[in-house]
Amino acid sequence: MKLSLIIPTFNEAKKIHLDLDAANQFLRAQPFDSEVLIVNDGSRDETQKVAEELCGKYSNDKVAFRVLSYGENRGKGYAIRYGVSQAKGDLIAFADSGLCVPFSFLTYGIEKIERGADYALASRRLKETKIKRQQPLYRKLGSKVFWFVVKGFMGVQVSDTQCGFKIYSNKAAKTIFHRVQTDGFMFDIEALLVAKKLKLKHAEFPVEWSNDSDTRYHPIWGTLKNLRELTAIRLRSFSTHA
């Protein structure tokens, strides 16, 4: 078995070393081979340079590190799609930069897929999950409103759509993300709706989660953009993705 781990990045030069060091420590201890794909989403700092230097340092016969870049900033959804298109693993995972979830929890997702799920989602809402560092109050309130919108307006039934820690079989990832069109943060919602239409089986698993205070999300403009994306996704969901 081979695992592809995608880490989307935008202006992460100051902390990408933490992600790659943690990924290296975890993956080199596993019985399977891996590749780590750092997708540079048009960073304006030295993310590309720092990541390339670290890739040279960490790559070996067991774990290969690569930086993928396409120039301009396109959004997290585009970065994940691009990473999936380049991934070669039997399993394809992605994790947000910032170490919100320790990479050791990938084993929980792998186990779910080995038991028959097509994809597995980390959830901050499961009772077994431990929240080690909370979001600020305005993000908590926004998350509650968002949850009602997603569940009612979008028809998504999983307990946590936005936790940036997910794993798919290769076939499921390639099939889903070939159909996803959303470039921004709401790509997760469209991916879930596509998977639902394709009748793919999902599972959820608990994690330890810590809020990353170094967020790129603007509470006003980000929310307006998310609403536009959700509206476009809902309209597209009435067509046939399968």
pLDDT category of residue 217 using cuts at 50, 70 and 90: low
Specify the DSSP class assigned to residue 30: S
pLDDT above 80 for 48: yes
Sign of the alpha-carbon dihedral angle for 140, 141, 143, 144? positive
Q: Each residue of 141-171: pLDDT tens digit?
A: 667 667 777 777 787 889 999 999 999 999 9
- Contact 57/28 with Cβ under 8 angstroms? no
Q: Each residue of 58-76: pLDDT tens digit?
A: 999 999 999 999 989 999 9
Report the pLDDT value the prediction gives residue 138, as an integer from 0 to 100: 60
Report the pLDDT value the prediction gives residue 242, as an integer from 0 to 100: 45
For the whole model, what pTM was predicted?
0.90
Report the pLDDT value the prediction gives residue 110, as an integer from 0 to 100: 98
- Contact 65/33 with Cβ under 8 angstroms? no
Report the pLDDT value the prediction gives residue 220, as an integer from 0 to 100: 72
User: Which strand (E) or helix (H) includes residue 122?
Assistant: strand 119-123
Instruction: Give the domains, in start order, of the chain with CATH numbers.
Output: 2-237 (3.90.550.10)
pLDDT category of residue 140 using cuts at 50, 70 and 90: low
Strands of 63-69's sheet in order across: 63-69, 33-40, 2-9, 91-95, 165-169, 119-123, 202-206
**Bigger pLDDT: 191 vs 238:** 191
Report the pLDDT value the prediction gives residue 105, as an integer from 0 to 100: 98
